[in-house]
Structure formats: C-alpha cells, structure tokens
Structure 1
C-alpha cells in the first residue's frame, strides 16, 4: 500500500491491529505518515497513544487484555506477561490494572504508565495463553505474590491456585528458592501455612491463634471417619487427641439455604458421634483473638473431660 492510501480502507488498520492495538512503526510501514498519526492522536482525536510507540485505534478505556497486548508490544519480542496480568490469561480473576512484563536483564526498557517492567536473569520459557506470551503459571503466581503488600492478599492469591490444583506447594516452594529473594517473606509464610493444609485467609488466622493457644497438634481440612471408616466430616481444624473439631463459619452460608443445610447436617453428624465442635466467625479471629483462644482452650478441656469417641482422622496416603 502506497503512502496515503490507507485512508481509503480504514478497516484495514483494524484488521492488522491486535485487539485495536498497533505499533507506530507498523502504521508507518502500512502507509500512515507521521503527521497523520500525530493528528489522529491529538486530544479528542479518534486514536490514542497509550504508550511510547503504541497506538490504540479508538479513543476510550482499554480492557485488561488490551493493556497486556500493548505492554507486550512496548516491551518487544522478548517480553512476556507475568504476575497478575498472566494470571488473568490463566483464568484467575484479578482486579489489578497494571500489565506486569518480564524482560531479559540486559534490556533497558523502563516501566511506563500501566506497564510494570521487571528485568531478570531468569527469563522463563514462554507459554502461549489466548495468543499472548506468558510466564509459566508457577512463576506468574510468585511474581504476583512478591508484590502483594499484605499477608492476607498473599494468602488469598496462593490459596486460590493451590485449591484449584493449578500448581502444587512443592512447585511453588522450588520456584521460590531459585527466584529473587525480594518480596519473598509473605510467600514463604503462606507456603508454610498451605503446606499445613490451610485453605483460606480465615483458616490462616485460625492456625495462628491455635499456635498461640499451646494446645496439642491441630490438623486442618482432614477427613474424619467413624469406627467403620465411614466419612463423617472435614472440619477446618481437628485435634485428634480429644476428637475436637473447629469450624470457621463464613457468613456467606447465610445467603444460601442449601449451604446452610449442609453446614447444620455436618455439625449434627459430628455432635451425634460425641465430637466436641467449636464454631467461630471469621470476624472474631480478627476482632477478638484473645476470646477465641480462650474458647479453644475451654472446648479442649471439655473434650478431654469426656470419653473419646471412636472416630479418627484420615492420614494422607491411606
């Protein structure tokens, strides 16, 4: 196409763009002059320059995927998505709008606008997700976790991918050991919790209070069976020495009659077999930790004072 003829086929630019995102250099190769680009990207114009050298062929808010496309164009052929931007492409929800990319350590491209550039000596093999270059999931998870600003945010992130069995704790631990030490304190703490079979932020708080209590070993999210090996329940916490269950009740079940019914049935089964059950609201873990610890101790003493029922926890691998 000769210079100046692109205007006769404006849809041609949309076709060669990637989700409406196109590089300045690509426009010039297709006959769009520098002055035409400048005019169309002026305030109020039909196009928008979203990053240096990167044009949006519309004038409006970018979607998260368009940000990721623009970030990869900005970073060049060696750039790959990581962190929460990559997690979105793996099907995990993320409210973050930044597009986090990895580049080889010798590249000198800087973070700009919504693009977070991380240079690394450990460029991973790229994985194609929805046509976008991404880091492997285990790397993306830990790159996101290292930038979490709170322990609870790190817990929520790692617990979700582990619960969905998208990655394993050993895989995450191995990647954490060989990766950057920057920002690794929260992920290390969470991986220890997840290795103890803690599945959620409230359960992590519960484990912390149990450690404070001085009570015997508590395991988390383990199946409990009766004398015949029949399944009874999977309580959040379990002290096998005295057959005591700890349930951290989410308020969400109040909104679902079916979930509420299952909660009551599970608790009835346990209590019918003589299991002592302590139910705690997640808010109490945060707002009244001393009271929760006192209730734990009191229920333990109650459980210890009666004959232990003939139930047991299932050991992994049985």
Structure 2
C-alpha cells in the first residue's frame, strides 16, 4: 500500500496497510480489535497492528505490524469494513503479550463488565489456545470468576490471599430479617459478620456519595456488622499493611461474636442498658 501525499498516516490507513500486507485471510486482533469493538483499553498505550493469519501463510512481522500465524483462525467479525478477531480472542491475544499484571487486570475486567464477555468463555479460549503468555490471564480470570467486578476487586482478592483467612463472599447482597437491604460489601466474612468495603476516595467522598456511604455504614452498625474500609490505591501500595488490617478486623469481629455467644455484655449492649 502506497500513501499518496505527505503527513502521518491515519490509524485506519495503518490498519488497511497491515491487512494488505497480511493477505486476504488476515484478521486484526489485539488492542486495535478490542477498541474497534467497544473497549477503551484505558492506560494501555496504542501500539502497532497485530494480525492473525493462517499457519500456512508465509508472512513475517515487519515494522509496526506483528504477524501471528495460527492453526486456530477465528470466524471474522467485520466492523466498519475491518475484518478482525471476535472480542474474546482479541482480548486474550493482547493479554498474552503482557508481562505485567496491571494491563491484564484492566483489560480483562473491562472485557467482562463493558464488553459483557462471559469469563468462562475466556477461560475456554485460554484452554484451547497456546500456553504461551497464558499464566497472568488465567490468574486474573480466576478472580473474576470469584465475583470481582473491577480492577480494585481483583487487587482485593490478591490481598486476601496473603491473609490465610477463610474466603469471603464477594459482592454478596445482605438483607436483614425483614428483607430490607443492608449493603453489598466487596467482601463479606459471614462467620464473623465482617464487611470489607474497598471505597474509592474520589467516588465515596463527593457530597452525595459520602452521605450514601454513611447511611450504608449505619445499616451495617444497626445489624451488628463490623465494617473495614480500604482505599483502592492501598491495595497495591501497601498490600502487606492492608492484609494485616484485614486480619485484625477479622479477629476483632470474631471476638465480638464469641462474647455475644457467651452472654458477655459488649460495649454496645452496656450503652443500651444504661439508656
């Protein structure tokens, strides 16, 4: 493909040029295909064009075009005239190229939430494909299957694994005896009645959201549920400290329940008795 005229080629021109180079059966995959099918891929820098071609084709990578030969050519999806791999394949083709967890977590959680991909479909695709670069996607998808709905919740699961505590219920809706809604904590340790909330500063401390957070915590308190709040940023910057705080909160909640089972008045019951 020859670009007529001066100036930098557009992204579409780069894509068209890559497809011409790859041949008539070439498909765009990776980040380019993800974004053309509705994902943002936030925080992931735009790179070259990643192509899939049949294994029998003798075309090699060149310049900004990465050519991957495969015996498992997917059925193409055509968006605005561009043939590409379906979203589940494009996401995993991109994730396999990363050696860091952050972009893998970001892309897979967005694919499940925004792209509405079933995590089990992604896992089946991983099982069917090459093992190359599959370790990190497998690890993240295990957490997504547990119930993580965001990157912060995936990070929370990684912190929980440091603690040795029983696994909590993830994103489990809590209601009182009459059926009234209490909350949906990120993690809930049912045995000791401990709610773990990963609360974003930006979201929860705007005026309306702050009021909602206070109301939520009041509902927890009314039901005798201890709540631990953690900023998402600390899950990565201080995972050891957060893990220790989670263990301490669990132990405190467990102690409160033990005292109640023994009929020992807690500070809360003492205050009520004095009123």
Q: Could you say which TM-score interval applies, normalised by the shorter chain?
A: 0.7 to 0.9
The verdict on how the C-alpha distance between 1:231 and 1:256 changes in structure 2, with shifts beyond 3 A counting, is: same
8 Å contact kept, 1:216–1:241: no
Q: What is the aligned partner in structure 2 of residue 39 from structure 1? A: none
The match for 2:33 is 86
Q: Note closer, same or farther for the CA distance 1:102–1:233 as it changes in structure 2 (3 Å cut).
A: same
Cα 1:67–1:256, aligned 2, differ >3 Å: closer, same or farther?
A: farther
Corresponding position of 1:66: 13
1:247 to 178, 183, 197: 197
2:273 corresponds to which residue? none
RMSD, aligned α-carbons: 2.0
The equivalent of 1:108 in structure 2 is 58
1:287 aligns with 2:234: no
Within 2, Cα distance between the matches of 1:118 and 1:287? 36
Q: 1:162 aligns with which of 112, 115, 122?
A: 112
Q: CA deviation digits over 1:126-162, x for unaligned, max 9? A: 1111211011111111111111221121111111111
Q: 1:66 to 1:267 in 2, by over 3 A?
A: farther
Whether the 8 Å CA contact 2:199–2:231 is kept in 1: the answer is: yes
* TM superposition shift of 1:213: 1.3
Q: Which runs of 5+ in 1 are unaligned?
A: 1-53, 310-318
Of 167-176 and 247-256, the range deviating more from structure 2: 247-256
Residues 272, 137 of structure 1: alpha-carbon distance in 2 compared, 3 angstrom cutoff: same
**TM-score normalized by structure 1?**
0.75
Equivalent residue, structure 2, for 1:20: none
Query: Structure 1 residues 134 and 275 mapped into 2: Cα distance closer, same or farther (>3 Å)?
Result: same
Deviation at 1:64, TM superposition (A): 2.9
Secondary structure of the 2:97 match is coil
CA distance in 2, matches of 1:143, 1:90: 14
2:83 alignment partner, one of 127, 133, 146: 133
Q: TM-score, normalised by structure 2?
A: 0.86
Listed one character per residue, the Cα deviations across residues 81-113 of structure 1 (whole Å, up to 9, x for unaligned) are 111111011011143231111001111222122
Tell me the equivalent position of 1:225.
175
Change in Cα spacing, 1:165 to 1:74, as seen in structure 2 (3 Å) is closer
User: In the TM superposition, what is the alpha-carbon distance from 1:79 to its structure 2 partner?
Assistant: 0.5
Paired residues of 1:205 and 1:286 also in contact (CA < 8 A): yes
- Deviation for aligned residue 1:199: 2.3
CA contact (8 A) 2:39 2:115 kept: no
Unaligned runs of 5+ in 2: 261-275
1:210 Cα deviation (Å)?
1.5
Q: In 1, are the aligned partners of 2:38 and 2:115 still within 8 Å (CA)? A: no
**When the two structures are aligned, how many residues end up with a matched partner?**
256
Of structures 1 and 2, the one with the larger relative CO (CA 8 A, separation 6+) is 2
Structure 1 partner of 2:165: 215
Give the CA deviation at 1:291. Answer: 2.0
Question: For structure 1, which segment, 299-308 or 197-206, has the greater mean C-alpha deviation from structure 2 after superposition?
Answer: 299-308
